[in-house]
Amino acid sequence: MNKEHVVILGIESSCDETSAAVVMDGRNVLSCAVASQNELHEKFKGVVPEIASRAHLEKINLIIESAMAEAKIGFDRIDAVAAVNQPGLVGSLLIGFTAGKTLAWALGKPLLAVHHVHAHAYGAVLNYEMEARSAFPAVAFLVSGGHTSLFKCHDPLEMELIGSTQDDAAGEAFDKVACILGLGYPGGPLIDKLAKEGDTKAVHFPRTWLKKAPLDFSFSGLKTAVLYHVRGRDLSRPDSSHLSRQEKADIAASFQAAVIEVLVEKAILACRETGYNRLLVGGGVAANSYFRRQIAERSDREGIELIMALPKHCTDNAAMVAGLGYHQYMAERFSALDASVYSTL
Ligand code: KG4
Ligand code: ZN
């Protein structure tokens, strides 16, 4: 088994992005091809599972070919195939994981079944200048559309969940508030952009600290507060059309500040409680420009080493999958070719 300059082909298809990537030694991204399905789901304001799996099926071979071409290597140079098998939409997971199994079998190379959430938490390591393993121990913070989770990571393969959301994920709150403001889907990037024109102090929205579970999160109260603010407590206004662009920008900025303040403070608290002073941050919401600035300032003040995923590695991508797959490969954690996909954690 080759353990020098190990090359892993990663595949990601858990939700609405079809992606393939080639990564060397868990950190050196040789290529990463992503086909987004945003346009297909936009009019439904959310991901439609049947449409997602059909689109994965149409794109998967092309995306793998394009990742291989960009990496300028042949399939004979691949040491193992890493593909996400959980959690996600079952119909979507099946397409990428079956493609991964088929390639592993055809190439006679090991198959690595990768956990999507752990791969997101690993995404930041792709942006680390040192050897991948030396990014640990660390607290990993995953803030995405499906998860808001804090992990205590002794090493890349040992991620202990120490905090998570009790209701909505942070990205889900961004998407729902964008919907309330009539902005479109996915809402995170649209709120990020509009908030730049607004005042973070224009409206005071609640912050939920959950004193009994200080590392857990809750965003449903905040989402409801925005709904009442826009449509009235009795929901007498049908939508957000009575608001001016400036009023919408102020609401977006104030909402964003409320979410981000909680995210930043809890990430810092997790570092204090674990005694780890290195913080890895990934997931779609980690692409948020305000979040990136706030967490960088706060970590700096606390003397915490912050390693943030590059924006292109925050949203779903296969580079993070191949990256984590490398550590599974080195530990010889291979999967059988009859392994299954799982929808939940
Ligand atoms: O990690 P991801 O691609 O998929 C999941 O595994 O969930 O995250 C998607 C989420 C969506 O909710 C999207 O609105 C949010 O990440 N997002 C953002 C930004 N870019 C994507 N949220 C806030 N600001 C952004 N710039
Ligand atoms: Zn994701």
- Look at residue 342 and tell me if it is in a domain: no
Q: Is the CB of 88 under 6 A from ligand 1?
A: no
Q: Looking at the structure, tell me whether residues 286 and 270 fall in a common domain.
A: yes
The reply to whether 300 and 317 lie within a common domain is no
Nearest residue by C-alpha to atom 23 in ligand 1:
188
Structural domain includes residue 339: no
Residue 124 has a pLDDT of 94
Q: Return d(Cα 166, Cα 148) in angstroms, integer.
A: 9
In this structure, the answer to whether residues 17 and 105 fall within a common structural domain is yes
Domain for residue 336, yes or no? no
Are residue 253 and residue 238 in the same domain, yes or no?
Answer: yes
Provide the pLDDT for residue 114: 98
On whether both 321 and 276 belong to a single domain, the answer is no
For the chain, strand residue ranges (E) read: 7-12, 17-24, 28-36, 80-86, 111-115, 138-143, 148-155, 158-164, 278-282, 305-308
Structural domain contains residue 130 = no
- Which residues have beta carbons under 5 A from ligand 2 (an ion)? 144, 316
Q: Check residue 289 and give its pLDDT.
A: 97
DSSP for 103-152, please give it: HHHHHT--EEEEEHHHHHHHGGGGG-SS-GGGG-SEEEEEESSS-EEEEE
Per the domain annotation, does 234 fall within a domain?
yes
Contact indicator for 60, 95 with CB cutoff of 8 Å? yes
Ligand 1 centre to CA of 314 (Å) is 8
- How many structural domains comprise the chain? 2
194, 277: one domain? yes
- Atom 22, ligand 1: which residue's CA is nearest? 188
- State how far the alpha carbon of 10 is from the alpha carbons of 79, 262, 333, 340, 344, in Å: 11, 33, 15, 17, 21
Structure tokens at 181: 């403001």
205 in any annotated domain: yes
Give the Cα separation of 297 and 100 in Å (integer): 40
The CATH number of residue 300's host domain is 3.30.420.40
- Distance from residue 337's CA to the centre of ligand 1 (Å): 32
CA-to-CA distance for 136 and 276, rounded, in angstroms?
9
Domain range holding 209? 137-308
pLDDT number for residue 128: 84
Are residues 153 and 264 both part of a single domain? yes
> What pLDDT does residue 42 have?
81
Output the CA 107–ligand 1 centroid distance in Å.
34
What pLDDT, on the 0 to 100 scale, is given for residue 40? Answer: 83
Instruction: Flag whether 173 is in a domain.
Output: yes
Domain match, 291 and 326 both: no
pLDDT tens string 205-237: 999 999 999 999 999 999 999 999 999 999 999
Do 227 and 317 lie in one domain? The reply is no
Closest-lying ligand to the alpha carbon of 186? 1
Q: How far apart are CA 299 and CA 286, in angstroms?
A: 15
Q: Which pLDDT belongs to residue 48?
A: 84
Strand 111-115 with 80-86, pairing = parallel
DSSP state of 255: H
341 Rama class: left (phi>0) / alpha (psi -120 to 50) / beta: beta
Same domain, 147 and 18: no
Which residues of the chain have a pLDDT value below 70? Answer: 345
52 lies in the same domain as 191: no
Residue 51 lies in a domain: yes
What pLDDT is attached to residue 295? 98
Residue 276 main-chain phi, psi, to 5 deg? -90, 130
Q: Are residues 177 and 119 in the same domain?
A: no
Best substitution site from 144, 192, 223, 262 to test ligand 1's pocket, by max atoms within 8 Å of Cβ? 144
